[in-house]
Each structure stands twice: as structure tokens, then as C-alpha cells.
Amino acid sequence: MSTKLSLNIAKSVCSIILLSGLTGCFGDDDDKTQDVSVQGKVVKGTLANADVNLYNAGNMSTPVGTGTTNADGEFDISIPGTSNGKPVVVKVTTNANTTMVCDADKCGSVNRGDTMTSTELDGLELTSHFVAEKGDTEVTDLPVNSLTTAATKVIMAQSTSFENIDATELKTLQETATKVVLESFGLNSATVGNLFNIDIPDASKLTTELSTDSDSSKALKSQLAMLNASFATETNITAEIEKFYNGINTSIGNSGLTADFTSYLNTLKSRYDDLYSALNAAGELPTGVSIPDLAQFAWPDNITFENGGVVIDPGNNGTEGNWTLVITGTSTVTSPVTVTVDIPQVTVKNTTPPTNTDEIANQLKQNTEVDGVTVSDYSFEEVERTANKVVIKYSATISVSSGGISATQTQNLTYTWTK
């Protein structure tokens, strides 16, 4: 990797390539038969008595687990352990008994704080997703809300083989989707990191649900809750969310915000501002916490989806370099069976190739040998170096230990710098 690559970006690259293929190697074949308890919470406002269906991403017609939300929007559904290791999609829909308290300043004709019936919710559908490691028997605190719905749809649209990705690859895609979802509003996605790891509260219950959070957490979660609540319309909330994620997908292809999407973002921002004013006037915001306004809309230009992989662009202030690095290759796991997988292509722009293979070897070990990971038998071979192209081939044995169990992977990667 580049000697000019920042530590955070270097670690991001390593997180994409490091454990591809190791995911699911812990445990044995018997783990596949153990049921997995999937626990989560559905919040647009709190959605009570809603249907929850869980699907293997490769088969969205037959659920592997079903259930309903309780009065607090919570669910606990068992799915077979054979679903572990690959994405599972959570789909929440309304039925005749479903209710939701209006969490926006106004939800169509329903006032804030009043109960909406299934008729008024008009076929609301929310989604989320996860990957359980093989051997896991529990998935907890899974959020399902407007923002996870948008991010899930973006990931499924942008990933060329969503049903086949593993937990490590999914984490990278989730963080990328979080970035484009939040930064389109001008929000700093670094404070959130991953929308699928944060419990967004009901905007009508902020003071109670955030009573034990720190001030910084209260500010962040309040802002996300009000943003989640802003998807409110007189006709169809699902159509509102669909308009949002379609706008994101179009902007990804357009490499910038479209005029129609900017117009819709302004609609959401107006609802956000109205709700902020209403909650502030009613004393329903956490006390002593400053909640920032939504910033000017801007499209994140330093990370995008491309050809089923991820592109990272840290920008160039004159010191990073003017090369582009592309990392491709395979990962082979030999236990309990031999499996070889292609590692998602990683592209890093505005970088500089190392002057020799020792530099890249030192960076690799520094950024990967953490949390029970060891790198051994690694080698780097410089196969080409010209004024405009550097190619380095890399192979290594990487071991991971967790809970007294170890797994080993062999990587074969090609680093190609061009300018």
C-alpha cells in the first residue's frame, strides 16, 4: 500500500481484504443446525403488531422466520442456523392490527402523538439486514427504520452479488451506504459509522429513551430520530422512502445530487425543521443538549460503489500522490473444507506506490496484526515498475484466533498502481 496512505484508510483497506473467506470458519458443521435468535426493534414511529419476515437474500419469496412486533416495536424470531454466513433480509409490513404513533410534526392528516391505524399507514414496509457468523446463536439490537431501509435498498442495488457476500464484506458495504445516506443530508457519517449498529429511538419518546445516554449520544440519536421521522406523507410512507433511496442510487450513477433528489431532500429538511420546532416548544428534546441543524446538502465524493467493489478517494491536497491503486485477488480457507473466494475489488485513488516491497510488508503487518490476527509466510514480488505503473504480487498465511478456536487463510493479492 502507499506510504502516503493515511492510517484510517489503510485500516479500511485491510478490513475489506483481511478476513474475506475466514468468516464462518469458527465452529463446526453442527453449528449450522442450531437455531439463531434474531432480536430487533422497528421504529418509524414505534410500529406495534407489525408482521416481521426474515429471508435468505438468495430467496426473497420464502421466509426462514416469521413473527410480529410487540407494543414497543420489538421482535424476537428464530431462524435456522443454516442461514448463517450469508445475508438475511428483514422485511416488516403492516397488517389489520398494526398501529404507529405519529412521530413527525404531522403524518398526513394525523397529528403528532396521535395513533395511526393500518389504513393510515397504507402498506408501510421497512427493511434491514444482517449476517450471522456460522456458530452464532443470537443476533441482538438489530435496528429497522427508514434509514436502514434506504441503506439496505442501496446495498442490494449496488452489490452485484448481495446474496453471496460475507460479514466482513457486508460491514464495508454498510459503512459505504451509511456514508452516502447521511452525507447527502450534509451529516458527518463518521460520527455514526454504521447505521446498522445504532439504536435510533422513536422521535416521540426522546426524553425517556435517551435518559441514560451521554450528551453526545443524545444529540446524535435525536438528530437521526428526527430524520427518520421526516418520512411522513398523506399518501404512502413506503413511497417516500423509495423516492429517497432511488434518489441515492441515481446520484451514485450520476456522481452527484440530481435536481429532483435535491428537491426531495429539501422537503425532508423542511419536515425535520418543523419537528425540531415542535419538540423544542413542547420541551420534548433532551435537556442541555444542542442538536445541530441539517447542513447544506452535498454528495460524498471520496467513497463510492463501483462494479461491485468499493472505491476510496481521500482527496489530494498535494501530498498524497496522483496514482490509483487497485487490489484484486483470492482468499482460500482450508478448514473444515477448502473454499476459495474472490476478494471484492478495492480501489484507492490519490495515493503513491511504495519504493520497495519492505514498505508494503511493514504496513501490512502493522495494520492487520490486531485482535488475535497473525500474518506469517508472507512474500511480496515486484513484477513491474515503470514511470506509470507498479505491480506487486503478495501472498501470505493469515491466522485468526477467537474463543480458543483458530482458523487459517491463504491470500493471494495483486496490488496495481497506475497513473
Q: What DSSP line would sit under 46-96, residue for residue?
A: BEES-EEEEEETT-TTS-SEEEE--TTSEEEEEE-GGGTTS-EEEEEE--T
86 belongs to a structural domain:
yes
Note whether residue 212 is domain-resident. yes
Q: What is the pLDDT of residue 21?
A: 47
**How far apart, in Å, are the Cα atoms of 86 and each of 164, 203, 207, 210, 309?**
6, 32, 37, 33, 17
**249 by DSSP, 3-state: which?**
helix
Task: Give the pLDDT confidence score for residue 7 in this predicted structure.
Answer: 43
pLDDT of residue 4: 39
Instruction: Indicate if 196 and 336 belong to the same structural domain.
Output: no
Tell me: do 61 and 166 sit in the same domain. Answer: yes
Domain that holds residue 260: 34-301
Pair 296, 328 in one domain: no
CA 396, CA 129: separation in Å to the nearest integer? 32
Is 180 inside a domain boundary?
yes
Q: Is the peptide bond before 300 cis (omega within 30 degrees of 0)?
A: no
Q: Kindly state the average pLDDT of the residues 277-292.
A: 85
Q: Is the pLDDT of residue 317 over 60?
A: no
Q: Is 41 helix (H, G, I), strand (E, B) or coil?
A: strand
Is there a single domain that holds both residue 116 and residue 43? yes
Q: Are residues 378 and 245 in the same domain?
A: no
Whether residues 142 and 240 fall in one domain: yes
pLDDT digits (tens, 9 = 90+) for 125-171: 999 999 998 788 999 999 999 999 999 998 888 887 888 888 888 88
Q: Which one of 301, 331, 360 terminates a domain?
A: 301
Weakest-pLDDT range from 68-72, 177-181, 309-313: 309-313
Contact in structure between 137 and 79 (CB atoms under 8 Å): no
Beta-sheet strands, E only, within 147-285: none
In a domain, 347, yes or no: yes
Residue 45: inside a domain, yes or no?
A: yes
Whether 22 maps to a domain, the answer reads no
Which residue pairs, CB below 8 angstroms and at least 24 apart, start in 175-180? Answer: 176/303, 176/304, 176/305, 176/310, 177/151, 177/152, 178/151, 179/300, 179/303, 180/154, 180/248, 180/251, 180/252, 180/299, 180/300, 180/303, 180/304
Domain endpoint, select from 238, 268, 301: 301
The pLDDT assigned to 261 comes to 87
Find the range with the poorest average confidence among 62-66, 221-225, 345-349: 345-349
- Show Cβ contacts of residue 380 under 8 Å, excluding neighbours closer than 6 positions: 357, 360, 361, 392, 393, 394
Residue in this structure with the C-alpha cell 480501489, named with its chain if needed: 347
Q: CA-to-CA distance for 415 and 387, rounded, in angstroms?
A: 16
CA distance 87 to 58: 8
Asked whether the predicted pLDDT for residue 290 surpasses 80, the reply is no
| The pLDDT value given to residue 304 | 58
Is 350 found in the same domain as 256?
A: no
Give every CB contact of residue 387 below 8 A, 6+ residues apart in sequence. none
Asked, for residue 221, whether it belongs to a domain, the answer is: yes
- Residues 100 and 223 occupy one common structural domain: yes
Average pLDDT of the segment spanning 303-313: 61
Residue-level pLDDT at 67? 98
Res 345 pLDDT > 70? yes
Please write the tens of the pLDDT for every residue from 24-80.
Answer: 444 444 444 689 999 999 999 999 999 999 999 989 999 999 999 999 999 999 999
Based on the fold, state whether residues 249 and 331 are members of the same structural domain: no
Q: Half-sphere exposure of 17 toward its Cβ, with a 13 Å CA cutoff? A: 28
Residue 367: the pLDDT is: 59
Neighbouring C-alpha atoms within 13 Å toward the C-beta of 65: 23
DSSP run (H or E) holding 143 = strand 138-145
Distance CA 165, CA 175 (A): 15
CB distance 194 to 148 below 8 Å: no
Q: Are residues 319 and 274 located together in one domain of the fold?
A: no
Bigger pLDDT: 378 vs 19? 378
pLDDT tier at 215, thresholds 50, 70, 90: confident
Number of domains the chain is built from = 2
Is residue 351's pLDDT more than 50?
yes
Please check whether residue 238 is in contact with residue 118, taking contact to mean a CB–CB distance below 8 angstroms: no
Confidence of residue 182 (pLDDT cuts 50, 70, 90): confident
Question: What is the reported pLDDT for 37?
Answer: 96
Is residue 186 helix, strand or coil? coil
Whether residues 213 and 352 fall in one domain:
no
Percentage above 90 pLDDT, the chain: 33
The chain-wide mean pLDDT, for the chain, equals 81
Residues 392 and 320 in one domain: yes
Among candidate residues 139, 222, 141, 149, the one with its CA nearest the CA of residue 187: 222
Beta strands in 193-248 (DSSP E): none
The answer to whether 51 touches 92, Cβ cutoff 8 Å, is: yes
Q: Is residue 125 part of a domain?
A: yes
Task: State which of 281, 301, 321 marks the end of a domain.
Answer: 301
Task: List, for residues 366-417, the tens digit of each pLDDT value.
Answer: 656 655 567 777 788 889 999 899 998 888 887 766 555 566 778 888 889 9
